[in-house]
Amino acid sequence: MFIAVTIANGFVLKYRSKKYIAQNPELEEGYDKYFKGWMFYANIPWVIMMIGNLSGITHNTFEYFNPKAMNPMVLLFHFSIIVLWVLSVRWIYFKEGAEFIEKHPGLFQKSSFSGNTNVTAKQIKLFLPLMLLGGIAGMIMMWVVGFPTAQF
């Protein structure tokens, strides 16, 4: 299910980019690179979860909320998320990813009462730490709080 939602989001991004490509055809290669990157990188944690569940190493999805149990697939899942965070920081701040997103409208938008507008590189660089802080807080909670694992 998670893989299907991630793929659907990727196709929404691809569909949304068509109007911008029609206006500026030289952006098509960038949109295609982003789409392929999204399809690969955004599915890594879900593929790990799928392998864990299908192989029997994990019994259900709720086990991934309890990394303290030290299940190797759960740990690999959490490690993959941390690696993706590091790669995101590297891309946004050191590989001109924020500027790429700004040049390719429609990939990220902010909503307001006046409608949706595209984000700037500066806004992306300011907002990424807040997003990561939320993810880190969630990860810490999973390690500190003992979430009971549902048995099915």
Q: In the predicted model, is pLDDT for residue 74 greater than 80?
A: yes
Q: Residue 94: left if φ>0, alpha if ψ -120 to 50, beta else—which one? A: alpha
Query: What pLDDT, on a 0 to 100 scale, did the predictor assign at position 118?
Result: 81
Q: In the predicted model, is pLDDT for residue 135 greater than 80?
A: yes
Query: What pLDDT, on a 0 to 100 scale, did the predictor assign at position 149?
Result: 62
Query: What pLDDT, on a 0 to 100 scale, did the predictor assign at position 123?
Result: 92
Instruction: Supply the mean pLDDT for the chain.
Output: 91
Q: What is the pTM of this model?
A: 0.86
